[in-house]
């Protein structure tokens, strides 16, 4: 989960109060789904004390900064919801004296940009640190390691407008990047500069690379890699800044720009919009003035609120609770339309810095938090039920006992992973894997379709342990299946892996036979062409004529991909098929 470091004095000032004790402060942080990770060192002067706060929710990137987290605490404590008059709305566009021209050459590589200016207040050491932290949190977590979002800060005083965003040959342009003292071409930056090496995977395969230049051709930055050492070197004492964001997802960069603009406005900066003119169509048109409000209102009936929270609340109570969460809301009366009656409820208008209302449940959750978790009276369960294990759970426990008796150690893994781990490292083609449309990070972008990748991940970091290694996991996998209503299928799988210098096909065949013997199941095998295993040393497991698993010697390329130097045998079984 994201963790942020905040200056204690700045945070309390923005929050509008101080808390008398750690317990009281931690209680207040619950409205932001946060907790105090580390208290400030009281031996330091107040202006130098730092609080470390851990956010337990990844769907609210607006809380990943000092101003955003403090804003939530301030409003929940009764503070007024802030107004941001610099936003443009659909059909109501603010005038912008500065603009950025986006050329068609970036359309296929990094097509979207948002920006604004902030002025009227000198940058302090604490505020600069917080800007950089917000920049990195948004770009790393929300922006998938800068792939979908990156951010740059620049000094307006040395920029000639309009700014041009274009694609260039990486060998044809050179400039002095931050933390460097000699000019490098864009391709040389990817090979020599620390930031270039870290983020080269984003751009290195593209024929054209994005570049931001001003009207005189002076380079601002090479998004999403590094700023220039002159126009892009913001320092303590600067008073006028240009903030830009580039990326591959327009909604994400527009939201991130809104978050940054609201944070700086809360800190006392004057925000001015910037017009962005595209040479091609975008989801918001060819010309958009940012910061831009694009969020749609969400309806939630009062009946749904009661169902989710277990207590009947009227519209006024819901609106008051939502106001403490920064949301504007309005009552919606029951209306008869033809033969149907639309329920009485509320319309919720998300604040400019939030876009996490996807369902009525999200509205009910904010009502609950805004009203206060302790305000709901506890109630005893009204239904009497007798719990029992599902058949698959009972069967899975039996399989676990057998594998432990065979000398295997149980492991537990995440069900989400990256394409590199789940597909590329396992020599797969990705035809069955299920991707998430809006992942927070590429490390959790896909749902695993096999247990074996998880087991290989453990083996890749276990080379120092005494051999043999025997590990297993029983858990869910999901994969595409056209015959299912939703096009996917979720199953309970058992996967096992044995690493040792003498591990071979006969070993894994014997272990499989032992497992099925104690399960009292008959099975057959046939040759398998599974690409994860060595050809001729892999077999499919069949039960009652149906293929339910595979086992064999792991392919050397898979071992090399994971950095495993010891031979491995492995297998996995669909346990639900055995029921």
pLDDT value at residue 523: 96
Range in 367-371, 372-376, 573-577 with the lowest mean pLDDT: 372-376
Query: What would the CATH number be for the domain defined by 391-578?
Result: 3.30.930.10
**DSSP characters over 372-394:** -GGGSPP----S-------HHHH
CB 299 within 8 A of CB 345: yes
Query: Across residues 153-180, what is the average pLDDT?
Result: 94
Query: What would the CATH number be for the domain defined by 3-76?
Result: 3.30.56.10
Mean pLDDT, the chain, whole residue set: 93
pLDDT value at residue 135: 87
Q: What whole-number distance in Å separates Cα of residue 344 and Cα of residue 300? A: 9
Global pTM value: 0.72
pLDDT value at residue 335: 52
Query: What would the CATH number be for the domain defined by 298-372?
Result: 3.30.56
The position carrying tokens 């065979």 is 406
pLDDT value at residue 144: 84
CB within 8 A of 453, min separation 6: which ones?
417, 421, 422, 425, 426
Query: Across residues 482-500, what is the average pLDDT?
Result: 94
Q: Is the dihedral of CA 411, 549, 479, 428 positive or negative?
A: positive
Query: Across residues 442-455, what is the average pLDDT?
Result: 94
The position carrying tokens 């700045």 is 10
* pLDDT exceeds 80 at position 208: yes
* pLDDT exceeds 60 at position 327: yes
Please, which pLDDT band fits residue 342 given cuts at 50, 70 and 90?
Answer: low
* pLDDT exceeds 80 at position 337: no
Residue-wise pLDDT tens digits, 247-259: 999 999 999 999 9
pLDDT value at residue 57: 77
**DSSP characters over 466-518:** PSPEEEEEEEEEEEE-TTSTTSEEEEEEEEEEEE-TT--HHHHHHHHHHHHHH
> Max alpha carbon distance in the chain (Å)?
79
Query: Across residues 540-546, what is the average pLDDT?
Result: 95
For 544, which DSSP code?
Answer: T
**DSSP characters over 171-202:** TT-EE-BTT-SS-EEHHHHHHHSHHHHHHHHH
Residue-wise pLDDT tens digits, 45-86: 877 889 999 998 778 999 999 999 999 999 999 999 999 999
pLDDT value at residue 333: 78
Residue-wise pLDDT tens digits, 117-138: 999 999 988 888 889 888 888 8
CB 258 within 8 A of CB 293: yes
Domain 98-290 sits in CATH 3.50.40.10: yes
Residue-wise pLDDT tens digits, 395-440: 999 999 999 999 999 999 999 999 999 999 999 999 999 999 888 7
pLDDT value at residue 457: 96
Q: Give backbone dihedrals phi and psi of 190, rounded to 5 degrees, phi first.
A: -65, -25
pLDDT value at residue 334: 64
CB within 8 A of 502, min separation 6: which ones?
567
The reply to whether 391-578 shares the fold of 3-76 is no
**What are the residue ranges spanned by the domains of the chain?**
3-76, 98-290, 298-372, 391-578
Question: What ranges in 310-359 are assigned the alpha helix state H?
Answer: 315-323
């Amino acid at each position: 989960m994201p963790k942020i470091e905040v200056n204690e004095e700045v945070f309390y000032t923005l929050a509008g109060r101080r808390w008398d004790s750690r317990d009281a402060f931690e209680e207040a942080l619950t409205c932001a789904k946060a907790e105090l990770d580390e208290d400030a060192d009281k031996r330091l002067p107040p202006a130098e004390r730092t609080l470390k706060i851990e956010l337990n929710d990844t769907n609210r990137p607006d809380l990943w900064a000092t101003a955003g987290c403090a804003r939530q605490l301030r409003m929940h404590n009764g503070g007024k919801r802030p107004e941001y008059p610099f936003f443009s709305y659909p059909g109501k566009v603010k005038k912008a004296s500065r603009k950025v021209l986006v050329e068609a050459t970036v359309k296929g590589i990094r097509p979207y940009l948002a920006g604004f200016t902030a002025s009227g207040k000198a940058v302090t050491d604490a505020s600069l640190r917080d800007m950089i932290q917000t920049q990195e949190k948004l770009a790393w977590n929300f922006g998938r390691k800068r792939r979908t979002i990156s951010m740059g800060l620049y000094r307006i005083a040395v920029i000639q407008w309009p700014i041009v965003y274009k694609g260039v040959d990486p060998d044809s342009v050179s400039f002095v990047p931050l933390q460097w003292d000699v000019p490098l071409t864009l391709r040389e930056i990817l090979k020599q500069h620390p930031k270039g090496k870290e983020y080269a995977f984003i751009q290195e395969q593209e024929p054209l690379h994005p570049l931001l230049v001003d009207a005189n051709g002076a380079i601002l930055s090479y998004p999403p890699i590094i700023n220039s050492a002159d126009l892009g070197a913001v320092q303590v004492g600067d008073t006028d800044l240009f903030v830009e964001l580039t990326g591959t997802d327009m909604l994400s960069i527009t939201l991130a720009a809104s978050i940054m603009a609201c944070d700086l406005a809360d800190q006392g900066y004057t925000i001015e919009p910037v017009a962005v003119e595209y040479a091609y169509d975008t989801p918001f048109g060819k010309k958009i003035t940012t910061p831009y409000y694009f969020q749609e209102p969400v309806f939630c009936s009062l009946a749904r609120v009661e169902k989710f929270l277990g207590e009947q609340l009227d519209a006024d109570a819901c609106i008051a609770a939502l106001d403490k969460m920064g949301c504007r809301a309005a009552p919606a009366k029951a209306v008869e339309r033809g033969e149907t009656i639309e329920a009485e409820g509320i319309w919720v208008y998300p604040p400019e810095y939030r876009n996490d209302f996807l369902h009525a449940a999200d509205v009910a959750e904010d009502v609950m938090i805004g009203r206060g978790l302790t305000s709901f009276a506890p109630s005893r369960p009204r239904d009497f039920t007798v719990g029992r294990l599902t058949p698959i759970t009972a069967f899975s426990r039996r399989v676990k006992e057998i594998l432990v008796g065979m000398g295997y150690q149980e492991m537990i893994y995440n069900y989400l992973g990256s394409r590199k781990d789940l597909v590329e490292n396992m020599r797969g083609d990705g035809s069955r894997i299920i991707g998430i449309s809006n992942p927070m990070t590429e490390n959790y972008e896909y749902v695993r379709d096999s247990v074996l990748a998880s087991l290989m991940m453990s083996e890749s970091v276990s080379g120092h342990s005494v051999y043999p290694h025997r590990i297993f996991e029983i858990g869910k996998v999901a994969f595409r299946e056209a015959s299912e209503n939703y096009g996917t299928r979720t199953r309970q799988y058992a996967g096992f892996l044995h690493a040792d210098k003498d591990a071979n096909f006969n070993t894994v065949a014997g272990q499989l036979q032992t497992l099925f013997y104690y399960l009292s199941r008959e099975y057959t095998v046939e040759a398998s062409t599974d690409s994860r295993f060595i050809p001729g040393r892999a077999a499919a497991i069949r039960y009652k004529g149906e293929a339910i698993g595979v086992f064999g010697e792991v392919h050397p390329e898979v071992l090399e991909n994971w950095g495993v130097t010891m031979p491995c045998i492995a297998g996995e079984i669909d346990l639900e098929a055995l029921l």
